[in-house]
Amino acid sequence: MIQFTVEDFNGERQTLEIPEGISLSLMEVLKGSDYNILATCGGMALCATCHVQVLEGGDALPDLNDAEGAMLDTLPDAGSDSRLACQLRVDETLQGAVFRLRGAE
Ligand code: FES
């Protein structure tokens, strides 16, 4: 199982356990776990409503891809620890990470 923690818009934390090999993005898993993120663009790195801040575990994540980096550059509240959940695959690189939801509800 892959375990990571999500801090919601109210600051409440919950640890999710996801089976390995599900081949879903973090955005898809968050929506499937009833987190209220819009993901308006459906995972195309175009809307930034799936913006998350990586509080722990960022070093293990894959580098930003070009589309993700370009989108994050347009966000006034993005920082060096920002990622787009739709561009992160749920795999062992997320093990132990802590994500804070930042996108629009
Ligand atoms: S779902 Fe739109 S940028 Fe991630």
How do residues 8-52 score in pLDDT, each as one tens digit? 999 999 999 999 999 999 999 999 999 999 999 999 999 999 999
Structure confidence by residue, pLDDT tens digits, 49-96: 999 999 999 999 999 999 999 999 999 999 999 999 999 999 999 999
- Cα angle at 80 between 98 and 28, to 5 degrees? 45
Q: Can you read off the two tokens belonging to residue 42?
A: 């459906």
Ligand 1 center–CA 87 separation, angstroms? 8
pLDDT computed for residue 103 by the predictor: 83
pLDDT computed for residue 6 by the predictor: 98
Q: What are phi and psi of 68, to 5 degrees?
A: -65, -45
Structural domains of the chain sorted by starting position, each given as residue range(s) with its CATH number in brackets: 2-101 (3.10.20.30)
| Shortest-distance atom of ligand 1 to CA 42 | 1
* Cβ-based burial of 55 (10 A; exposed 0-12, middle 13-18, buried ≥19): middle
pLDDT computed for residue 94 by the predictor: 98
Q: Are 95 and 2 in contact (CB under 8 A)?
A: yes
| Shortest-distance atom of ligand 1 to CA 50 | 4
d(CA 103, CA 38): 8
Pocket of ligand 1 (CB under 6 A): 27, 39-41, 43-50, 84, 86
Which residue has the CA at smallest separation from atom 3 of ligand 1? 45
Ligand 1 center–CA 68 separation, angstroms? 9
d(CA 27, CA 81): 17
d(CA 41, CA 50): 10
pLDDT computed for residue 105 by the predictor: 61
